[in-house]
Each structure stands twice: as C-alpha cells, then as structure tokens.
Copies of this chain bind each other. A is one copy, B any other.
Amino acid sequence: VTDIAFTGATLLDGTGAAAVPDAAVVVADGRISWVGRAVDRPRDPGLRVVDAAGKYLLPGLLDANVHLVMHVDPDVLLRYEPGLYDALVLEAAQVALRSGVTTVFDTWGPLAALRRVRDAIDAGRATGSRIRFAGNIIGNGGPWSPDFFPALGEGLSSSVVSAVNREWEHGVGADLTWMSAADVRHVVRDYLATSGIDFVKYAASAHAHSRLIAFSPDAQRAIVEEAHAAGLTAQACAQAPEALRMAIDAGVDLLQHGDLTGPNPMPDETLDLIVERRLPCVAFLGTRRRTDALLERGLHWGRTAVGLEQVILAKLTNDRNLIKAGAVLLLGLDMGVYGPSADTSPVFGPIRADDPEPTQLGRSHLSWLRGAVEHGMDPADALLATTSNIARAYGVDDQLGTVEAGKRADLLVLDANPLDDPDNYARIAYVVKDGAIVDRDRLPERPVLTGDRDA
C-alpha cells in the first residue's frame, strides 16, 4: 500500500477540537503518520497526494450497534447450512464500509460466521467494515427462539429451528436464566475462554418480554466480572427502568439503547447516574418524520398491552433529557441489511410497513445523525457520538475514533460539511480504511440481499 497524503481539507478530527481548515493527513502502513496544516506536511517523494481542497476530513465512522445478520427470515437463512452465513456477514460489512462506516460493533449474531469474516477482514483477505462482535446476548435464545422471532420458526421442523438458534446461542442462551449466579459465572467463564468474541453483551431485560428481568443482581455482577477478567468490556440490554438501574449497578461499561425504558421514562436518579459516571449510552435516535409515523401506528410493545405510542413518548423524554444533560451518547440503531422478502415477512413486514425510514445498514446512520440534530444535539457532539465516543466506550480509542497520528488510518472524506447538514455524511468523496482508499463502487461484491432491492 502506497502512503497517501490528503491535503487541503477541513479537518474534523473527532476529538472535539475545533475544525482545522486547510489541513493535511498522511497515512502510511495503514496508520495515520502525520496530521497538521497542509503547508507543513511532509513532502516524501513516494507519497501519493490527494487534493482534498474544499472537502471535509473526519474519522471513519463507527456504529455501536449493528446486526450484520438481521434479516433472519427462513428464506434467507435456509439458503445456507446452519451457521454458514459468511456471505451475509460479508455483504453487510461491505454495505457499511461503502457508506463510510469503517468499524461496526455487532451486538447479536451468529458467532462462527462473524468470527470467520472478522478475521478475514482483519487479515486483509476480505474487504469490509472492521467487525467487532459479541456473539449472543448472554441469557437470550437465538433468532427463532421465544426471545426474538418465534413466529418465523412456526412452519419449520423443530430440529431445524434448534440448529439455527444454536448458531447464535453457543451455550450461553436462555438456559442460563434458570441457573444460580455461581453457575452462570462458570458457564460464562468457559464461553469467554473459547468463543473469540470481542466484547460481552448480556440480557438485563428479557428480550421479547421486555418488562421482565433476565438475571439477578448476583448473576449480572458475575457476568460483568468475568468479562472484565477476560479483558473485555461488558454491556447490557435493558428496556425498563429497574433493569436499567440494575445494569448500571452491575458495573457495565456501556448501555445498549439506554433510552428505551418502556412506557415510563427513566427516573431522574438514573439519569443523573448515567451523566455523572459518563456511562456511554447507545440512544436509538430517529428523525421526527420517522417518529411521527411510528406514533401513528398503534402497535403494541414487548408482547404486553402497552402501546408502542407510550414507549416512544417515554423514549423521546429520555432522549431529550439525556441530550440536555450532556450524557455520553453513541450512535446505534440495530441496523442490518434486509432483502426484498422482508417487506412481506410475518415479522419484519408489519414493522417496516408505513415506516418512512425502515432500518437498513448503510442508510440508517444518516437518519440517526439527522435525528440527533433534530433532538437538539450539537452537530459537533453528533460527530463524537459516531466516532470517539464509541471508540472510548468499547476501549479501542487507542486505535480508532479520531484523526490523530498513530491511530489506524480509517478516514471519511466528504464533499460538504457534515456539521452544516447531517445529509452531508452521505456526500462521500473517499472512504479510507487501514490506509487504503476503498473502491466503493465494487461493494458489495456479492449482493445476496441487496441485489434485487437496489436493482
């Protein structure tokens, strides 16, 4: 790989520092070797100089909550032997990369395929967004289990349903919720020793029955302690006020969709705690247009009589309060790639119908960023929410999240200032990953799900 210098762009370095006009960034050996004013930049003869005058240079984006295999309809998964979902994972990682998201944190997915594709991308054998993944949400079952989308498995042989679920569960599924805290600890320890995952996620709230709690305080502490002992960060999926509080008390490093608390907003005490501890919190922000559309639909939530409307209104209150209080928010929105059959799927069809911005990797981060600004977040803070905040929350800020010498050379060069208008995140001039300019037109190389839809 040739060394490259990007010169003349306005630098938004992701540290929160003021924009630097007419800057230059030099990348060498996959890393950022020099950052400064364009006039000062090194003049090595071997350097390929890319004129980025008038453009905006920022860190490659990170996404704190994706699911690279999210369209789990049988017609998608059953094309493959259980677990051999590499093609799906790779397509999604390439869709992300094409859109400037150079690192994705997959918070629930099929372990073996994720591990193989992560390793292939890390080793340069495949092109795609850098993947870091959790495997299962400890305590939940797989995609066709009662914890997620049992309706998708209703017409299937139970042996097939079990085989697919196991690819997500890997021994840390729903069975753990029947165990004592001591037994949970042992099972998690064994899992961490062999699974090759990058971080730990567990169920504080039960997933489908989100008003309920999956683990006792002792069990939650055991999981967090084992994660830390293995050198990994730990995060929790909480969806109700008390579960959120229990997760915080258990010592998690990151709250997934911490703004989702069911029909009642989080208590002030919890909000204060999140702010004071600077506890990173993925918020499921969306545009007003989308929120208004969802409010009109009158669906139910968490398999109870609670209306979706109430839940959205409580979430809006949480979002407003978190932003106002200056909480450390992260971009994330359960983004994945959906093929055309999702529109008539028994599970995803009703969710996507009438949604003006149905979740889709490669697009939905733009909704999030637009929504953040609409919610009153400073555009500069929104940039942090998708760069250095995420890197820090996941403990990879020594490598990723800012444009600073020594970091991995993941860059996004835009034709217009994203702080002026979040839509400008889509006006991509260059995506650079590990020091190389990505050939975006080639991605995804094998459009398994996106082919028909985008054709």
Contacts and interface: CB of A to CB of B under 8 A. Distances in A.
A317 interface: no
Contact of A212 (B162, B212, B242): B212
B157 A155 contact: no
Interface in A366-409: none
A219 B267 CA distance: 14
Interface in A352-378: none
A343 interface: yes
A213 B214 CA distance: 6
A154 interface: yes
Contact of A156 (B75, B181, B340): B75
A211 B242 contact: no
A74 B213 contact: no
A270 B76 CA distance: 46
A434 to B, nearest CB: 36
Interface stretch (A62-70, A145-153, A425-433): A145-153
A152 to B, nearest CB: 4
A432 B245 CA distance: 53
A241 B349 CA distance: 35
B246 A216 contact: yes
B346 A180 contact: no
Interface stretch (A50-58, A171-179, A289-297): A171-179
B242 A345 contact: no
A182 interface: yes
Interface residues of A, number: 63
A338 to B, nearest CB: 11
Nearest to A265: B180
B346 A155 contact: yes
B242 A180 contact: yes
A344 B73 contact: no
Contacts of A181: 242
Contact of A344 (B157, B209, B240, B343): B157
A245 B159 CA distance: 35
Interface in A234-250: 240-243, 245-246
A241 B73 contact: no
Contacts of A241: 178-180
A363 B183 CA distance: 39
A37 to B, nearest CB: 52
A325 interface: no
A79 interface: yes
B212 A214 contact: yes
A2 interface: no
Contact of A74 (B156, B209, B242, B346): B156
Interface in A262-290: 262-264, 266-267, 270
13 contacts: A75-B156, A145-B305, A146-B303, A151-B154, A156-B345, A177-B211, A178-B211, A178-B263, A179-B264, A180-B264, A213-B214, A218-B242, A218-B245
- 4 smallest A-B Cβ distances: which pairs? A216-B242, A213-B213, A157-B341, A212-B212
Given A146-B304, A152-B155, A179-B241, 18 more contacts: A73-B156, A74-B74, A146-B303, A154-B155, A154-B346, A157-B342, A159-B341, A174-B211, A177-B211, A178-B263, A178-B306, A181-B242, A183-B264, A212-B212, A213-B213, A213-B215, A216-B245, A219-B242
